[in-house]
Structure 1
Amino acid sequence: MNPKTAGDTPPGDLTPQPIPKVNTVTADDIRAALKSGFSDFLARPILSGCFGVFYAAIGLLFVWCLVWLDQTWVIIPAIAGFPLVAPFAAAGLYEMSRKQQKGEDFGWADILTVVANQRKREMGWMAFVTLFMFWIWIYQIRLWLAVILRDASFSGFDGFLNTVFFTPEGWAFLAVGTCAGALLSAALFTLTVVAMPMLLDRDVDFITAMLTSIRVVKDNPVVMLGWAAIISVTMLVSLVPAFLGLIFTLPILGHTTWHLYQRAVEPEDS
């Protein structure tokens, strides 16, 4: 890749790179990737778990800030949208799986150095895409609040919950918000399902990585929809006990994503 395409500035050479060949993905591939991901977690549970602890801590800090700023109405949509940024948070887990797959020895410094260096590569642009989608998620919640609950009055978090869950307007807000959120989640999943590990693994630009991810989903819609459902349910359930479930589920899903990427995209030397 032209060196100008890497780094924190927009690429100067806009010539598209060839999209790698993608494979047919089956349910057996999902099961095998999950098994490998769980094995990677068990091989280095403390280091893997630290990424889950960090992600959970950021979530708790985010909620605390909303309470401190008296923006409690944002808590539910923020928690629901928080898993959108998980693919970027799992970059270190992809690197762990990559090294374990190659039989390389590594420690904390090796993984954290690779993660830190991603800011100089195309991963930074993918992080921007991810955070932008999260911003859209929060903004559209504000929009539906203004449109659907404009005549509702609530003070504090308890009043917001009562309005949302026990009034017709609240039910309409939940229905519309859920549909809009599902569309955003599907779009982000399609763009990133293999793009993040691919950017860490190969010298490609983020546009090529996203196009490859889109092709994987396009060529395997049913199986990838199933994988998206597994991720969504697992992440949302993990958020319930004060984000603590993420300590285990984020690492396992992160490692699994690496192995699924390996099965979905042909290697460079093929």
Structure 2
Amino acid sequence: MVKTIGNPLTWTARNLAGAAEHVTQSVERIGGEEKAIPQILPLTNDDIRVALRKGYEDFKASRADVMFICLIYPVLGVLLAGIGFNANLLPLIFPVAAGFALLGPFAAVGLYEVSRRREKGEDVSWLAALGVIQSPNFGAILVLGLYLAAIFVAWILAAHLIWSLTLGPEQPENLSAFLEQVLTTGAGWAMIVIGVVVGFCFALVVLATSAVSFPLLLDHNVGVPEAIHTSYKVFRKNPRVVVTWGALISVLLVVGSIPAFVGLILVLPILGHATWHFYRSAVSFG
């Protein structure tokens, strides 16, 4: 019998139904089914260098990953540009730019998938990044992503409160006036110091709970609680190396954001791939 494409509406409905069923099944497995216990390995700064080198190798082998990143960060640039032209939102420019890195571990899930497949010797293309949707742990990955989104929102609210208690509540007239307030007044410097301290606390929480949790969820069906706990154990056993890793990521993200986030087209894929290899150096299932 000759197969035909059929009615496009029917085809679309059938595929949407299949995707919905997969998401439902994934959510039901959020607790995880893995029986093996992850083992935490000791880390050194050499592991960071190896992860970056392997991440760069993955990037060279899969340059189409840039297409994945290009869809995300120009949107952020447009968002920040819109904020810059809206005086009421000027105090949120830096918090949004800095806080967006809190979502980085979730935004790079597709890159972890590419590295995972390449590690197994499988063929990869830019479509491989979308293969994460078919992961049995897709629901758990979404839940962990929502956790990061909640932290991001909490950071923005905290940053707005800090501004209100220092330079606010009167809105700045324009960007230059706002920068002058921030850099030339005691209240502005107080806002900077308090904001950096509070922001560091938020970043530390994200680093401790998601340094390896997303790659772990992609690699094993361990569930959200176990993934977060494992990430924390990696941080607790290797605090200096994990903090160095987080600091390096922050520096590279800042450098890549100048100008207009263009550098992130190169930085983000390398960091995403490197994070997968950092996870492989930190966790073993024996």
Could you say whether these structures have the same fold, taking a TM-score greater than 0.5 normalized by the shorter chain as the test?
A: yes
Distance 1:252 1:83, change over 3 A: same
Partner in structure 1 of residue 67 of structure 2: 50
Match of 2:195 in 1: 177
Which residue of 130, 133, 139 corresponds with 2:157? 139
Superposed displacement of residue 202, structure 1: 1.1
Partners of 1:175 and 1:84 lie apart in 2 by 19
Corresponding position of 1:159: 177
Residue identity in the other structure for 1:238: G
8 Å Cα contact 2:209/2:231 also seen in 1: yes
The aligned counterpart of 1:61 is 78
Task: Pick which of 101-110 and 174-183 moved more.
Answer: 101-110
C-alpha displacement at 1:68, in angstroms?
A: 5.8
Q: Structure 1 stretches of 5 or more lacking a match? A: none
Superimposed CA distance per residue, residues 99-154 of structure 1 (whole angstroms, 9 cap, x where no aligned partner): 11111013333332424768842001111111111111110111111111237662
Query: 3-state DSSP class of the match of 2:42?
Result: coil
- Asked if the contact 1:52/1:249 (under 8 Å) is kept, the reply is no
The structural deviation recorded for 1:235 is 0.7
Q: 2:141 aligns with which of 123, 136, 140?
A: 123
> Does the 8 Å CA contact 1:51/1:90 hold for their aligned counterparts?
no
Task: Find out whether 1:224 has 2:242 as its counterpart.
Answer: yes
Aligned to 1:20: 38
Count of residues paired in the alignment = 264
Task: Assess if the C-alpha contact under 8 Å between 1:99 and 1:106 holds in 2.
Answer: yes
Q: Which whole-Å CA distance do the structure 2 matches of 1:215 and 1:5 have between them?
A: 30
Compare 180-189 and 48-57 and name the one that shifted more. 48-57
CA RMSD of aligned residues (A): 2.6
**Of the two, which has the highest radius of gyration?**
2
Name the CA shift for 1:123/1:6 in 2 (closer, same or farther; >3 Å). farther
Identity %: 34
Find the residue that maps to 1:154 and give its secondary structure: coil
Once residues 100 and 232 of structure 1 are traced to their aligned partners in structure 2, the CA distance between those partners, rounded to angstroms, is 26
Structure 2 stretches lacking a partner, 5+ long: 1-21
Compute the TM-score of the two structures, normalised by the length of structure 2: 0.84
Matches of 2:108 and 2:276, distance apart in 1: 10
The change in CA–CA distance for 1:16 and 1:252 in structure 2 (over 3 A counts) is closer
Q: 1:205 aligns with which of 220, 223, 245?
A: 223
